[in-house]
Amino acid sequence: MIEILQQIVNGVAIGGVYVLIALGLTTVFGILGIAHFAHGSVSMFGGYLTFFMVTAWGFPLLLAILIALIVGFLLGMLIELLAYRPVRNANHINAFIVALGLTMMVEGLNLQFFGHEQVVIPTNLARVFDIGGVTIPELRLYVIIAAALLIIAMTLFVEKTKTGQAIRAVAENRDAAILMGVNVKTIPLVVFAISTALGVCAGVMVGSLFAIAPGIGEWLVVKGFAVLILGGLGSIPGAIVGGLVLGVTEALAAGFISSAYKDVIAFVVMIAVLLLRPQGLMGKA
């Protein structure tokens, strides 16, 4: 029982990272209908940047994260403006190809700036808590708390603010939103800025919990899409539930079945859910 609880706690930490990635992907998908494949690589760029500022320039971690967030915010807008806006009215496959091209460019930039060594963001958080037999490293606990706060903030933003309302309106019915006076030119900018900033947070978490290396970004974005499938494309509650389900499934699979095949098991679960509920766990039929 303790063992199961332990794996679930481990799963919630990685699940939180998945949720952050998936929240960005799902809002982008909801509003523009595109699979933003470069999201993982861009997130890893944020992780690398934080690592670089902390180790090379000696910035305090929190300051480095803050700067990386601002860079991510601006980078997101730039991506929307330069890459996706020109293919806005073209076939969706074209936007996907643009996303692939972007992925290569960002991966190339990461290699160019930060090399191909595997890096871990140093945090100096080495304490380990023991709660009723379940051990939680300090860092993992903070990651879970930070992810939870970000998820709540994002949900409140989308549900309660005027801009959030506009985002939901555009996702639901673009033409009607235009008629209601929503500026559909700035909404995608806002969505990309926030999504990329959330991605940067996920990148920092991956970089401090595990490691950043070339290829990790693609792995992360694939997981993000798996979460979207699980939860339902474009659904924010779906991204939260899907991310946690995927994270916990993986942790349980790694702990009790096989760590080599944990990703296979996670994908099998995804495909099974898709067959039983093609619209995803939280998607509308």
- Judge whether 248 and 12 are in contact, CB under 8 Å: yes
Cα–chain-centroid distance for residue 163? Answer: 21
Token pair of 116, please?
Answer: 């191909």
Binding segment (CB under 8 A) for another protein, from list 16-24, 56-64, 196-204, 220-228: 220-228
Give the contacts of 212 (CB within 8 A, at least 6 positions apart). Answer: 44, 47, 48, 51, 118, 119, 120, 121, 203, 206
Contact call for residue 52 and another protein (CB under 8 A): no
Minimum CB distance to another protein, residue 2 (Å): 29
Nearest-approach distance from CB 39 to another protein, in angstroms: 13
Q: How far is CA 173 from CA 24, 127, 185, 189, in A?
A: 20, 49, 15, 18
| Total residues binding another protein (CB under 8 A) | 43
- Does 118 contact another protein by CB under 8 A? no
Residue 233 in contact with another protein, rule: CB under 8 A = yes
Instruction: For residue 257, state whether it binds another protein (rule: CB under 8 A).
Output: no
168-207 footprint of another protein as x/- string (CB under 8 A): ----------------------------------------
Instruction: Say if residues 239 and 19 touch (Cβ distance below 8 Å).
Output: yes
* Cα–Cα–Cα angle for 16, 141, 41, rounded to 5 degrees: 40
**Alpha-carbon separation of residue 86 from 17, 81, 186 (angstroms):** 31, 8, 15
Among 228, 240, 246, 252, binds another protein (CB under 8 A): 228
Cα 194 to Cα 27: distance, rounded to the nearest angstrom: 9
Contact string (CB under 8 A) for another protein, positions 78-117, x = contact = -----x--xx--xxxxx-xxx-xxxxxxxxxx-xx-----
- Asked if 12 touches another protein (CB under 8 A), the answer is no
Pick the piece of the chain touching another protein (CB under 8 A) from 134-142, 168-176, 179-187, 269-277.
269-277
